[in-house]
Structure 1
Amino acid sequence: MSNTFTQLYIHCVFAVKYRKAVIQPTWEERLHQYITGILQNNGHKLLAINSMPDHLHFFVGINPKQSISDMMRVAKGDSSEFINKEKFTERKFYWQDGYGAFSNSRTQIDGVVKYIMNQKQHHTKKTFREEYLDILKDYAVEYNEKYIFHDLLDG
């Protein structure tokens, strides 16, 4: 569209179903590359991606032709198919329902990229649940505890 200009930066976070620690160092880079391809094929500009065994973060300059919910549906759906096709896990792999998507300004890009790339260091000090609750608080997102990512035993 002519005369249409956007600058939309979104930090996305989502968890493995029941927050099971199944993303392994032996294949996480292939997962990152696959998700990068999904995002780029949909016109998004990936700025950072990283994962822990139980969750994944990516930071993207979003193409406004695709909604955030559609982007996440495609990224999660296609990547879980890839993981299952490659048989990276012993059992069928699923992402947990839902995701976090947080908008950022251009001046925050470097900080968000650094934060995502330093995931391994962050998680020596806090769990994914603690991190996620901190992110919700930092972005002043109202939430219901009932809908926060759960462990298998949490229900």
Structure 2
Amino acid sequence: MANTYTQLDIHLVFAVKGRESLIHKRWREDLYQYVTGIVQTHKHKMLQIGGMADHIHIFLGYNPTQLLPELVKEIKTSSNQYIRERGYAKSAFSWQVGYGAFSHGRSERQTVIQYIQNQEAHHSKRTFRQEYVLMLQKFDIDYKDEYLFDFQDMTGWVGDQ
């Protein structure tokens, strides 16, 4: 009997609502572990997770038995609840509507992993808006400014006190 085999690497990006710097270093790893659990529960493979105080990058080996929008919804909904229940955010926490999803070939894995691991260095030179627009352009995705995340154009980030 024949089987189905896939190798689909997806890089997800989404932002905190209002682009507030609410993801603090003191609990960021807890959030990443929680999100990794969601990804693995749905039979995807976490390749790398990281981000900044106002956005997150999730790079995963995608299992096509689950629709991508359903996975993103599960990650956002469950992590919102997780953050609220633990009182991690000083103000109301939620993710912005929408997300970016970018596919990568296996030969790009290490480059994407390193990119996510080096978020602090990237954002010392460019804003999240600049980073995100460059990603959209690299993947030749048509976009309209009014439908992008709510951006606050500042380099660096606040919120890691």
TM-score (norm 2): 0.91
Provide the aligned length of Structure 1 versus Structure 2. Answer: 152
Counterparts in 2 of 1:2-81, with a 5 A limit? 2-81=2-81
1:52, distance to aligned residue in structure 2 (A):
0.2
- Following TM superposition, the consecutive aligned residue runs of length 4 or more in structure 1 with deviations greater than 4 angstroms are none
CA contact (8 A) 2:12 2:99 kept: yes
Structure 1: gaps of 5 or more residues? none
After superposition, the C-alpha distances for 1:92-143 in whole angstroms (9 at most, x for unaligned) are 2110000000011111111111101110110000110110001101111111
CA distance in 2, matches of 1:119, 1:84: 25
Name the SS for the 2:26 alignment partner.
Answer: coil
Structure 2: gaps of 5 or more residues? 153-161
Counterparts in 2 of 1:108-123, with a 5 A limit? 108-123=108-123
1:32, distance to aligned residue in structure 2 (A):
0.3
After superposition, the C-alpha distances for 1:23-68 in whole angstroms (9 at most, x for unaligned) are 1000000000000000000100000000201000010001111011
* Identity, % of aligned positions: 44
CA contact (8 A) 2:129 2:151 kept: no
